A and B are shown apart, each in its own frame.
Chain A
Amino acid sequence: MRAKQMLATMSHEIRSPLSGVVSMAEILSTTKLDREQKQLLDVMLSSGDLVLQLINDILDLSKVESGVMKLEATKFRPREVVKHVLQTAAASLQKILTLEGHVADDVPIDVIGDVLRIRQILTNLISNAIKFTHEGKVGVKLYLVPEPPFAKEGSQHGSDGSTANQSTTSASKTESYTSTSKTSSDQNEFHGKKNEGLCQNNSHREPGTPVTNGTTDGSEEQVELPATTVWLRCDVYDTGIGIPENALPTLFKKYMQVSADHARKYGGTGLGLAICKQLVELMGGRLTVSSRVNCGSTFTFILPYKGSTSCDSSDDPDDLSDMVDHDAMDEDETAGFFQFLPRTLGSLFSSNGSSRTQKLMPHNIGYAKSHKLDGLSENCYSFPMNNGPPKEIDSAVQISSEPGSSISHSWDPDNKSWICSEKSQAVEMKINTSGPQLPPKRQKKPDVGSLSKLNGRQQVLKNSTTSKPKILLVEDSKINVMVAQSMLKQLGHTIDVVNNGAEAVCAVQKHGYDLVLMDVCMPVMDGLQATRLIRSFEETGNWDAAAKVGIEQDSSQPGHTSPTKRIPIIAMTANALSESADECYANGMDSFVSKPVTFQNLKECLEQYLG
């Protein structure tokens, strides 16, 4: 337990400077570099990312295991998620594989769940699939299923709005591009919207509406019908090397790889599946696998989602206008099929050096061509989102980057000719045309990036009601107070200062703080006890524990009203050893900064906890 906490602690500490290194490298990559330099930089970035992934994995795992992980409830669009994840994977794909995604028609447009974790799981499973598949395809199938036997609560699985009821495995939505009646009705919409969508398209991320604390966005969708629970099953399948039967039982165990040879050959920490399993189960679902050696594997997870009662039909004008507010791409709302065929991007990127194309966001500047898919089935990515329903898959997937970057500009005009000229070639897609064999390219990075960015956004939303965060500094040494206060002032914060734990409890009783910096060793009452008392209030809604030790609440002043909101309490500890960190966590602290407090540590801490 201690070792784990220490690992988590150190991982935190390691992550910050490592992020710094990676960020600097990213910036470097946008500067003028010769080929050798670009190659070197690519290796740096990939390696840095890998380590960051590792650290995030470790932190996630310890969070999940210690029960600290909080699940979000965000409204999101499953089709978008599937598409984005596949797109991202496709972008960094260095093998000749087809990536495909099928989302059944009866899957609701919007559902409510922890989109970040789901993305994480999906990304993990897909990158595993890709890792262990050398030819053929990797795909995702998403469909509605009836409530599985393992579900405890009797939740009704939903059909909302106009979707078909209770169709189970309508997973037979294969490579056929025949659209269903629903999507065909959207065709005109898509066409009409197409150019508009292209021009206005500035979205990068999940079009889901971030919500706080499980409450859903009070838009028109929520008005009449109560939310229902839908069970969605997701199969991530591949035509890869398969998993031997004897390896199946230990597959989801931590640090286990199928074999030592596998570990050597394929790398990885063996943490991914363990985390996925924990997360899925935390969300009330199940993760299973079936496989045949040399044939392929299918990883399946079934999860419950609260159905949002938003309309499925994109004809609904309310829905459309609502979408305009979000980073949504209206057109592809009901598109259920995506396929990414192997393709070269060749010279497209060489002019841009070590392009960070993996930082792909579904901001597609691509557009439609009018040729039918059949004619081009070898060579283009079907991307209904820009061009309409599956039936008319015309555009090539445009691996685009965030707006404003040179990549999008540079190949935009080239696009037309590119598509035409390379029609007959199906070549392995490479980002670095001339580079040496590099480690798996940043498959998770965009996800992590978007994860953290989305987190940041959600946090911003949470804080939007208060303009300035209220910080309480609890410190007995005048010198330390002076130094910390000056640092916080430079960071733009004004703070309240008290000199011991008892005063801290009183202060918290009177005001709501957004963050408490708590010295550990203090006279009268130390930081650990003060933290315990504050947590007790948060958990029970009353200050009885404090009263017991003699801290009377000032009855003339009403206390602040949200007892269940957990205040981040950061220890300032002179003892940087793991024992001290353990103690801090055990007493309810969220994190710590070691003394002497430096500007950078304080800054990062505030960024993390104040968003």
Chain B
Amino acid sequence: MDLVQLQRQLVDYKTSLYNEGFLDEQFTQLQELQDENNPDFVVEVVSLFFEDSERLLNELTKALEQQSVDFKRVDAHVHQLKGSSSSIGAQRVQKVCIAFRNYCEEQNIEGCVKCLQQVRHEYSLVKTKLESMFQLQQQILSAGGSIPM
């Protein structure tokens, strides 16, 4: 695929992510923070997000497997996940977290377990999509082009 086609594909892909709610304006904020002084900012932050989220999801799984669930602890983790997903613009993940927190408040185990499933699902979706997007970007860069923002 030639450079222009790649670039167009990237733009379309990004647009679809916004349209489908995977990303929101906060992601745009991140992109705007990337410049010559900080050329890999977005990838760095997002990678950090992946790491952090995986840790949190594991903690959540463990916490919900307990005999007696510590909802405060669960809520604390979800709160963190909500915060970080909102900071990078992972909108759908953030939304599930909001619902998740409500269930925690209600101390509703079933609700929590369901939400955990959902959040895992949304997380893996957005992770895949972001990774694809980064790959596309990398291809463009390797072909000598620049990333259309």
Segment at the interface with B among A338-346, A354-362, A477-485? A477-485
Q: Would A483 and B86 be within 8 Å (CB), given that A478-B48, A478-B52 are in contact? A: no
- Contacting residues, chain B, for A171 (C-beta < 8 A): none
Residues of B within 8 A of A490 (CB): 33, 35
User: Does any Cβ of B come within 8 Å of A426's Cβ?
Assistant: no
Are A574 and B33 CB-contacts (below 8 A) given A479-B52, A521-B79?
A: no
Partner of B88, one of A479, A487, A521, A574: A479
**A598 close to chain B: CB less than 8 A:** yes
Chain B positions within 8 Å of A486 at CB level: 33, 38, 41
Are the C-beta atoms of B32 and A599 separated by less than 8 Å?
yes
Quick check: B29 and A477 within 8 Å, CB to CB? no
C-alpha spacing A479/B83, complex, angstroms: 9
A267 partner residues in chain B, CB cutoff 8 A: none
Cα-based distance from A486 to B52 in the complex (angstroms): 19
Give Cα A477 to B84, complex, Å. Answer: 7
CB-nearest residue of chain B to A478: B48
Indicate with 1 or 0, residue by residue over B27-48, a CB within 8 angstroms of chain A CB atoms: 0011011010110010011001
Count residues of B near A (Cβ-Cβ below 8 Å): 25
Q: Are B38 and A479 in contact (CB under 8 A)?
A: no
* The residue from B33, B52, B82 contacting A483, defined by CB atoms under 8 A apart: B33
The answer to whether B30 and A483 touch across the interface, beta carbons within 8 angstroms, is yes
Q: Which residues of A contact B84 (CB under 8 A)?
A: 477, 479-480
Bound-complex Cα distance A490 to B88 (A): 17
- Residues of the A chain whose Cβ atoms lie less than 8 Å from the Cβ of B25: 598
Q: Are A596 and B32 in contact (CB under 8 A)?
A: no
**A596-B33 contact given A482-B48, A486-B38, CB 8 Å threshold:** no
| Complex-state Cα separation, A584 to B46, whole angstroms | 30
Q: Contact between A482 and B45 (Cβ–Cβ < 8 Å)?
A: yes
Q: Does A595 interact with chain B (Cβ within 8 Å)?
A: yes
| Given A477-B80, A478-B52; A598-B45 close (CB under 8 Å) | no
A-B contact count (CB 8 A): 58
Contacts of B82 in A (CB 8 A): 574
Q: How far is the CB of B88 from the nearest CB of chain A, in Å?
A: 7
> Bound complex: CA of A480 vs CA of B84, how far in Å?
6
What string of 1s and 0s marks CB contacts (under 8 Å) between B80-98 and chain A? Answer: 1011101111000000000
B95-130 contacts to A (CB < 8 Å): none
CA distance A574 to B101 in the complex (A): 13
Are A480 and B83 neighbours in the complex by a CB distance under 8 Å? yes
> What are the interface flags for A122-154 relative to B under an 8 Å C-beta threshold, 1 for contact and 0 otherwise?
000000000000000000000000000000000
Least distance between B42 CB and chain A CB atoms (Å) = 10
Which residues of B lie under 8 Å from residue A521 when comparing CB positions?
79
Q: Which residues of B contact A478 (CB under 8 A)?
A: 48, 52
How far does the alpha carbon of A434 sit from the alpha carbon of B62 in the complex, in Å? Answer: 75
| Residues from chain A with Cβ under 8 Å of B49 in the complex | 479
**Cβ contacts under 8 Å, B26 to chain A:** 596, 598
CA–CA, A523 to B80, complex, Å?
11
Interface residues of A in 563-604 (CB under 8 A from B): 574, 595-599
Q: Provide the bound-state CA to CA distance between A603 and B51, in Å.
A: 29
Name the one of A479, A482, A523, A599 contacting B29, with C-beta atoms under 8 angstroms: A599
Contact yes or no, B33 A479, CB < 8 A: no
Contacts of B33 in A (CB 8 A): 483, 486-487, 490, 599
Give, as a whole number of angstroms, the nearest-CB distance from B78 to chain A: 12
Q: Which of B48, B76, B80, B87 contacts A596 (CB 8 A)?
A: B87
How far does the Cβ of B36 sit from chain A's closest Cβ, in whole Å? 12
* 24 residue pairs from A and B, CB less than 8 Å apart: A477-B87, A478-B52, A479-B48, A479-B52, A479-B83, A479-B84, A480-B83, A480-B87, A482-B48, A483-B30, A486-B38, A487-B29, A489-B38, A521-B79, A523-B76, A574-B79, A574-B82, A574-B86, A595-B83, A595-B86, A595-B87, A596-B86, A598-B26, A599-B29
Pairs A-B, 3 closest by C-beta atoms = A479-B84, A486-B33, A596-B86
Further contacts, 18 of them, CB under 8 A, given A477-B52, A480-B87, A596-B89: A477-B80, A478-B48, A478-B52, A479-B49, A479-B83, A480-B83, A480-B84, A482-B45, A483-B45, A486-B33, A486-B38, A487-B33, A521-B79, A574-B83, A595-B87, A596-B29, A598-B26, A599-B32
Interface residues of B (CB under 8 A from A): 25-26, 29-30, 32-33, 35, 37-38, 41, 44-45, 48-49, 52, 76, 79-80, 82-84, 86-89
